């Protein structure tokens, strides 16, 4: 009996354009990374970085164009944000990354955070209308 080979279900890692970075180059800093493709916004990530010695990155917003989801673009954009934050921190190291997920039903984002090594550390009820706020943290040693 011949061996059955199934096609790979994982999408290839895309080659992404260099992000446009806007925001302050001094700490504390709010920064936005935007990926453009043919002058259209492909993905956006906004974060706030606190100064050392505690160096915490707070992920405020991440969005990928609906037609380009599940192509590892959010993963790559997150890696670019970490690299950008490391450049701002200089010799100091990032300690933690915090993410608040406003929709419990946002399964793709929760799966991405788990894939990136985040841990669900708490749920806040009553803060948002009709939803709980889920808190995810990734700590660096």
Domain CATH code at residue 39 = 3.40.630.30
Confidence class for position 102, pLDDT limits 50, 70, 90? confident
Whole domain around residue 133: which residue ranges?
20-139
Q: Does 11 map to a domain?
A: no
Nearest to 94 by CA among 62, 139, 31: 139
Check residues 10 and 53 and name the one with the higher pLDDT. 53
Q: Are 46 and 78 in contact (CB under 8 A)?
A: no
Residue that is written with structure tokens 């955070």 in the block: 113
Rounded distance between C-alpha atoms, residue 94 and residue 85, angstroms: 8
Q: Does 41 map to a domain?
A: yes
Stretch 53-65: mean pLDDT: 90
Nearest to 94 by CA among 120, 55, 125: 55
Q: What is the pTM of this model?
A: 0.78
pLDDT at 38: 87
Rounded distance between C-alpha atoms, residue 23 and residue 6, angstroms: 45
3-class state of residue 61 by DSSP: strand
Rounded distance between C-alpha atoms, residue 20 and residue 34, angstroms: 5
Confidence class for position 16, pLDDT limits 50, 70, 90? low
Q: Does 133 map to a domain?
A: yes
Stretch 70-92: mean pLDDT: 89
Q: Does 2 map to a domain?
A: no
Q: Does 5 map to a domain?
A: no
- Give the number of other Cβ atoms within 10 Å of residue 118's Cβ: 20
Q: Does 8 map to a domain?
A: no
pLDDT at 136: 95
Q: Does 12 map to a domain?
A: no
How many domains in the chain? 1
């Amino acid at each position: 009996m011949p061996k059955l080979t199934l096609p790979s279900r994982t999408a290839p890692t895309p080659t992404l354009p260099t992000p446009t970075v806007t925001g302050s180059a001094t700490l504390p800093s709010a920064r936005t990374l935007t990926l453009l493709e043919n002058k259209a916004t492909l993905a956006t990530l906004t974060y706030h970085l606190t100064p050392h010695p505690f160096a915490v990155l707070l992920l405020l917003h991440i969005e990928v164009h609906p037609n380009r989801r599940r192509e590892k673009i959010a993963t790559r954009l997150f890696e670019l944000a970490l690299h950008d934050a490391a450049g701002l921190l200089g010799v100091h190291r990032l300690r933690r990354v915090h993410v608040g997920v406003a929709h419990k039903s946002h399964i793709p984002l929760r799966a991405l955070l788990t894939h990136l090594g985040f841990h669900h550390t708490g749920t806040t009820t009553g803060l948002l209308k009709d939803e709980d706020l889920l808190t995810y943290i990734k700590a660096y040693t």
